[in-house]
């Protein structure tokens, strides 16, 4: 079984466990589930732990705790959800890999307007912002006529 499939199984079990825990509306603190996750991760076979340690960039002895911590934090913050589990199964892009690696969430791409000029008007369009001469109005369609 390759690394992707193993992580998928672990992730599915973890997301389901955390989802069930959230549904219980905080009747139990999250520490017992984290302890269960770490305990189950300690019994993974050594080859898988080596692969995961290399992928995560941590030492072999820290893999169980860091893996569980990152997964729990990803679910808690909303970076990981059931849709991510489906995305892995369909070999689609997902942020799970960035969470497991410990990478921060990338900021959203923003389209900034070009600097104002007295000779041009800033307009927003379908493909982003653009400028038209000040004598013209911004087109309603969002397309610039050149």
DSSP assignment of 8-59 equals HHHHHHHHHHHHHHHHTTSSS-SHHHHHHHHHHHHTS-HHHHHHHHHHHTS-
pLDDT value, residue 128: 77
| Burial class, 95, CB count within 10 angstroms (exposed 0-12 / middle 13-18 / buried 19+) | middle
Question: Other CB atoms closer than 10 Å to residue 68's CB: what's the count?
Answer: 21
pLDDT value, residue 122: 82
Give the global pTM: 0.58
Distance separating alpha carbons of residues 49 and 6, to the nearest angstrom: 11
Distance separating alpha carbons of residues 60 and 51, to the nearest angstrom: 9
- Tens of each residue's pLDDT in the chain, 146 residues: 566 666 666 666 565 555 544 544 455 555 567 888 888 888 888 998 999 899 999 999 999 999 999 988 888 888 888 888 788 778 778 888 888 888 888 776 666 666 666 788 888 877 778 888 888 888 877 655 55
Distance separating alpha carbons of residues 92 and 61, to the nearest angstrom: 31
């Amino acid at each position: 079984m390759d690394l992707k499939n193993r992580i998928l199984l672990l992730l599915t079990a973890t997301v389901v466990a955390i989802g069930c825990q959230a549904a219980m509306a905080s009747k139990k603190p999250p520490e017992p589930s984290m302890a269960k996750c770490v305990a189950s991760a300690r019994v993974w076979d050594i080859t898988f732990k080596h692969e995961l340690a290399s992928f995560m960039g941590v030492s072999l002895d820290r893999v169980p705790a860091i893996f569980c911590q990152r997964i729990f934090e990803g679910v808690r913050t909303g970076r990981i959800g059931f849709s991510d589990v489906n995305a892995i199964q369909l070999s689609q892009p997902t942020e799970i890999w960035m969470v497991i690696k410990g990478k921060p969430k990338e900021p959203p791409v923003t389209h900034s307007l070009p600097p104002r000029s007295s000779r041009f008007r800033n307009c927003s369009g379908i493909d982003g912002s653009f400028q038209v001469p000040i004598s013209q109005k911004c087109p309603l369609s969002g397309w610039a006529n050149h």
